[in-house]
């Protein structure tokens, strides 16, 4: 006499998987994180009112402001998340910041491609993607390098000639090539710091 047995399947914990599209709740989440990120970025960018610190405001943003970006990447594991984040960032910058708006969208697409290779689950690639996204700040410096006279004239109307005289000598042409590297490195550092903070305070609480 034989006994029939039903096959059993072992259940193993599954790692988060990416999806090919953003759901409505994801759009809301990305929008919320984008607003938080921009508020932090504008607060840090206030350091630019000190002329000698103005060239490094994007570096400070990269180091200090990446926690909402990393949190977004960990919670919304979908293709297109950085692209949408870049578009929202561009819109929040306003139409007067065309180079920055273009940079935001371009680096958002590049960051998405980097995350794609890690299935949106590889933490190291997420940190690299955060670093790439921080290069959006490079758009703020493009006028200094390529339309310097017109930009400084416009800057003088808002900040005064004394401020412009101090800032004008801080952007030699060779910095046009160095600035994207500085922004990427600072973004990676900020992404790594954010990853450690989230691991300590959010993942243990089950929030990501």
Q: Does residue 44 lie within any of the structural domains?
A: yes
- List 78's β-bridge partners, or say none: 19
Specify the pLDDT at position 93.
76
What would the pLDDT profile of 92-127 be if each residue is shown by its tens digit? 876 668 888 899 999 999 999 998 888 888 889 999
Domain membership of residue 18 (yes or no) is: no
Q: Is residue 165 part of a domain?
A: yes
181 located within any domain: yes
Domain assignment present for residue 57? The answer is yes
Question: Which residue range forms the structural domain that includes residue 35?
Answer: 24-203
For the segment 156-183, the average pLDDT, to the nearest whole number, is 85
Residue 110 lies in a domain: yes
Structurally, the chain folds into a number of domains equal to: 1
The answer as to whether 2 is a domain residue is no
What is this structure's pTM?
0.80
CA dist list (Å): 152 to 79, 104, 140, 163, 167:
39, 23, 13, 10, 9
Radius of gyration of the chain (CA): 21
- 47-89, pLDDT tens digit by residue? 888 888 888 889 999 999 999 999 888 888 788 889 989 988 8
- Look at residue 16 and tell me if it is in a domain: no
């Amino acid at each position: 006499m034989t006994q029939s047995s039903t096959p059993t399947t072992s259940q193993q914990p599954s790692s988060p998987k990416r999806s090919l599209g953003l759901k409505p709740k994801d759009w809301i989440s990305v929008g919320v994180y984008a607003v938080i990120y921009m508020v932090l970025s504008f607060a840090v960018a206030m350091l630019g009112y000190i002329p000698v610190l103005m060239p490094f405001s994007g570096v400070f943003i990269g180091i200090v402001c990446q926690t909402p970006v990393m949190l977004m990447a960990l919670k919304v594991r979908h293709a297109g998340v950085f692209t949408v984040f870049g578009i929202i960032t561009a819109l929040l910058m306003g139409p007067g910041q065309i180079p920055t708006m273009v940079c935001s969208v371009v680096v958002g697409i590049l960051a998405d491609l980097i995350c794609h290779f890690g299935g949106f689950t590889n933490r190291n690639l997420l940190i690299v993607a955060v670093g790439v996204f921080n290069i959006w700040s490079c758009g703020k410096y493009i006028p200094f390098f390529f339309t310097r006279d017109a930009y400084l004239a416009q800057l003088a109307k808002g900040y005064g000639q004394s401020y412009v005289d101090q800032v004008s000598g801080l952007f030699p042409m060779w910095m046009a090539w160095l600035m994207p590297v500085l922004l990427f490195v600072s973004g990676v550092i900020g992404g790594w710091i954010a990853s450690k903070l989230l691991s300590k305070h959010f993942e243990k609480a089950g929030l990501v």
